[in-house]
């Protein structure tokens, strides 16, 4: 009975075009964004990756690779367990100190993933604080939603980037009741930016703690790449900054940066931190090397800005519109139908060697299915021209307009 039930659920995903399939994409060291695809028929195909979160290509940077190799030689492969049982190591201390300094906070705490840092931290705060209430942007990431829903805390959702609605919800609460406002800086599916300063001001007015997810801004915006809040010079008004080292930093891992007391409380009470195996020393060393490079180098950020502008212009010239919500490096292109999006992705890969994953429901609302295009400093002008030609051919083939009114997406 259970097998039949699960099979029916999976069939429903296939019928709706929402079923996800892995694509065998083998990135080539030193040649990113090129990769080798092992097709279902067994043939090998060279493809260009256009949907990676390795925004700055730092996974390929010599300093990052050297640090990782050196740490493997020094420590071996694994960490040996959680930091409480297996112990910590010098690379952790250096990384967390670097992260705290980057964000102008007293302390930082590293988790194995960005999902885990959101999930564990929010669960912890909502369980430790007395009678808390949390107010969350409606387009927040699944890790934030899961962290909130895993507790019995009172929760409210404010309309996306709607500061007025946020204030209405906060005004209903007693001033002395613990409150947390959680939101993102750059939303990953629409590429838009939160009104960070306005949200911080309202939160302060109503005595609420601010929790800002910067995962799609870390490394790319702000002085030394410290994020969008730093770019807007309001990072000091944010209580908790959460980030990832799996995107622009190019490795893996998540973290929070905040006051020493808050970080110590999460370290001491968050089950998602206490009971999980820590990152291997080689990964931590690679993260530290990448961050230290990005603190001092504008090369990668400058190249990303130039390539993003170039791609925006090339798409516009071809009559393919980036969704108007986007003001950042995230370039969503509307398809508007799950099955069409899936078939377009297959044709892009099979016929043109372009790897773009379809973004379908529930990641985004039904009717706003899209491609989420990410150019990097490693894409050259011919890569951009080839992508535009390929999208144009595929959109003509399937009758996709490539134009859109303003829809709202959902990050995941």
Which residues are part of the catalytic machinery? 247
| Separation CA 367–CA 365 (nearest Å) | 6
Other Cβ atoms less than 10 A from the Cβ of 394: the count is 24
Angle, CA 157 vertex, CA 156 and CA 161 arms, to 5°: 140
Residue 380 in contact with residue 354, Cβ under 8 Å? Answer: no
| Separation CA 410–CA 412 (nearest Å) | 7
Residue 412's alpha-carbon distances to 84, 176, 184, 272, 363, in angstroms, are 31, 33, 12, 20, 6
Angle, CA 79 vertex, CA 73 and CA 81 arms, to 5°: 160
| Separation CA 190–CA 409 (nearest Å) | 6
**How is residue 295 written in tokens?**
């603190």
**257 phi and psi angles, rounded to 5 deg:** -130, 130
**How is residue 388 written in tokens?**
């535009």
**209 phi and psi angles, rounded to 5 deg:** -75, 140
| Separation CA 209–CA 238 (nearest Å) | 8
Helix and strand counts by DSSP (H, E) for the chain: 14, 14
Residue 321 in contact with residue 186, Cβ under 8 Å? Answer: no
| Separation CA 116–CA 88 (nearest Å) | 18
**How is residue 228 written in tokens?**
């969008």
Angle, CA 211 vertex, CA 207 and CA 213 arms, to 5°: 160
Residue 293 in contact with residue 64, Cβ under 8 Å? Answer: yes
């Amino acid at each position: 009975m259970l097998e039949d039930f699960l099979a029916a659920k999976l069939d429903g995903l296939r019928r709706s075009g929402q079923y996800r399939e892995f694509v065998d994409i083998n990135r080539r060291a030193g040649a990113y964004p090129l990769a080798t695809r092992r097709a279902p028929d067994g043939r090998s195909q060279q493809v260009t990756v256009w949907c990676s979160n390795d925004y700055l290509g730092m996974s390929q940077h010599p300093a990052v690779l050297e640090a990782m190799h050196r740490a493997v030689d020094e420590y071996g492969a694994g960490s040996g367990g959680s930091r409480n049982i297996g112990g910590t190591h010098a690379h952790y201390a250096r990384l967390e100190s670097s992260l705290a300094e980057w964000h102008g906070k007293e302390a930082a705490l590293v988790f194995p993933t960005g999902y885990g840092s959101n999930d564990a931290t929010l669960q912890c705060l909502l369980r430790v604080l007395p009678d808390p209430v949390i107010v969350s942007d409606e387009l927040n990431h699944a890790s934030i939603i899961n962290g909130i829903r895993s507790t019995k805390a009172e929760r409210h959702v404010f309309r996306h980037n709607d500061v007025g609605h946020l204030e209405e919800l906060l005004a209903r609460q007693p001033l002395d009741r613990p409150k947390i406002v959680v939101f993102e800086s750059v939303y990953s599916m629409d590429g838009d930016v939160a009104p960070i300063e306005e949200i911080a001001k309202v939160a302060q007015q109503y005595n609420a703690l601010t929790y800002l997810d910067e995962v799609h801004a870390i490394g790319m915006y702000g002085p030394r790449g410290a994020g969008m809040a730093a770019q807007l010079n309001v990072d000091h008004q944010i209580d908790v900054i959460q980030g990832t080292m799996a995107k622009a930093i190019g490795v893996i891992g998540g973290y929070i940066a905040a006051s020493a007391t808050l970080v110590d409380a999460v370290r001491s009470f968050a089950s998602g931190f206490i009971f999980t195996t820590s990152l291997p020393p080689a990964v931590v060393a690679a993260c530290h090397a990448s961050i230290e490079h990005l603190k001092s180098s504008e090369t990668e950020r400058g190249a990303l800005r130039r390539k993003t502008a170039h791609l925006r212009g090339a798409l516009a010239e071809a009559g393919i519109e980036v969704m108007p919500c986007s003001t950042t490096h995230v370039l969503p292109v509307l398809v508007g139908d799950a099955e069409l999006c899936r078939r377009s992705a297959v044709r892009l890969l099979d016929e043109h060697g372009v790897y773009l994953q379809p973004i379908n429901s529930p990641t985004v609302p039904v009717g706003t299915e899209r491609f989420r295009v990410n150019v990097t400093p490693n894409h050259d002008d011919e890569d951009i021209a080839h992508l535009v030609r390929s999208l144009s051919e595929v959109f003509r083939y399937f009758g996709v307009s490539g134009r859109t009114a303003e829809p709202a997406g959902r990050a995941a």
